[in-house]
Amino acid sequence: MGGTVSAPYRGRFAPSPTGPLHFGSLLAAVGSFADARANAGIWLIRIEDLDRNRSVTGADAHILSTLEAFGLWWDEPVVYQSQRSSHYEAALERLRRDGLSYPCACTRREIAAHGIQGPEGPIYTGHCRNGLPQDRVARSERLRIDGDQLSLTDAVQGPITQQLMAEVGDIVLRRADGFYAYQLAVVVDDGDQAITQVVRGADLLISTPRQLYLQRCLGLPQPGYAHLPLVLGDDGRKLSKSLAAAPVDPDHPLPALDRAWRCLGQTPLEAPPRSVSEFWQHAIPRWDLARIPRGPLQIDAAVRSR
C-alpha cells in the first residue's frame, strides 16, 4: 500500500489546453511554482489533454509561451496526457487483475434517474457491481469503492474528510466515449512523475479523497496537498467558467504577477520590480504557504487581464 511521500520536492502545474491562460489559472501556476522554488524543488508542466473534444488547437503552445513570459520556467520536458494512454491502460489492467474494477452498462440518464443526489451529482448505485445485466454491454469501467471514509490535512484548507461510498460511489475509470477518466490519469501521472506536493485550485479539493483511494489501490505514494482559493468573476462563478473571463497579458506580466502574489496573501515586495526575473528574485524568499487565504477570491473585470 502507498504511504505519504518523503522525498526531494517535486511539484507540477497541469493546465487543460481549452484556451488561453486566465487569471485563475495564473494564480495556481504562481502558487505551485513559488512553493516549489521556495523549497529548492523541481517544477513540472503537464498538459491535461485527455479529452480531445475540449482541447483547442494551439492552446498548449500559447499557455507555455505565457508561462515563460511570466518567468514560470519548468525543469523537465512537458508531459502530454494524450501521449500516455499505455500507462493508464497498464494501471487499469492492474486494477482489473486485483478485482478492483468492473464494467458498467449504465447511462447517465439511468444513473440520474436512480441515483441519490450527492455533492457532485447523482451517486452511482452499484447496479453493475456484481456483473452486467442480461442483454447489456459495457459502456464504461468503474472502480470498486470499499471502506468508510478518507481523511487528509490540506496545507491551506485544513482537515478534510469524505465518506467516499456515501458521497461519491464507484467512480469511472474509463468513460463511455473511450477516454480514460481524469481521476485515473492524474493519479498515474503524479505517481510516474514522483510528485511530492500538489498545489492546485480548491475546485479539485473534493476530488482528492478519491485520488487518495486510487493511490492506495495502485500502491502509489501519497503526495502532500495544498488547494489554493478559487478566483470568482463578477457573477460569482469560477473565473474559468465565466463568460467574461479574459486571458492574462503576456506582454505586460508584472501587474498580473503582483495581483496574483497579493491574492495569495503574500507579503508585498518592498519596491516595484523592474523585470519578471527581479520579481521572482525578491518574491521567492518571501513565500509563505501559511499566509494563503482559504478563499474564494472575488476579482472584478478591471483586474482579470492585468
At 81-110, the pLDDT tens digits run 999 999 999 999 999 999 999 999 998 888
Mean pLDDT of the chain: 89
What pLDDT is recorded for position 18?
A: 92
Q: Which three cell numbers stand for residue 275?
A: 523585470
Show the DSSP H helices in the chain as ranges: 23-38, 59-69, 85-97, 108-114, 164-167, 182-192, 208-217, 253-263, 276-283
**Cα separations in angstroms, 211 against 25, 74, 237:** 21, 24, 25
Distance CA 34, CA 179 (A): 33
Strand spans (E) along 61-157: 79-80, 101-104, 116-118, 121-123, 140-143, 150-154
**How many other C-beta atoms are found inside a 10 Å radius of the C-beta of residue 2?**
16
Q: Write the pLDDT tens digit of every residue in 121-159.
A: 888 888 899 898 888 888 999 999 987 789 999 999 999
Say if residue 76's pLDDT is above 50.
Answer: yes
Looking at residue 212, its pLDDT comes to 96
**pLDDT at residue 51 is higher than 90:** no
Between residues 84 and 119, the one the model is more confident about: 84
* pLDDT exceeds 50 at position 199: yes
Provide the whole-model pTM.
Answer: 0.90
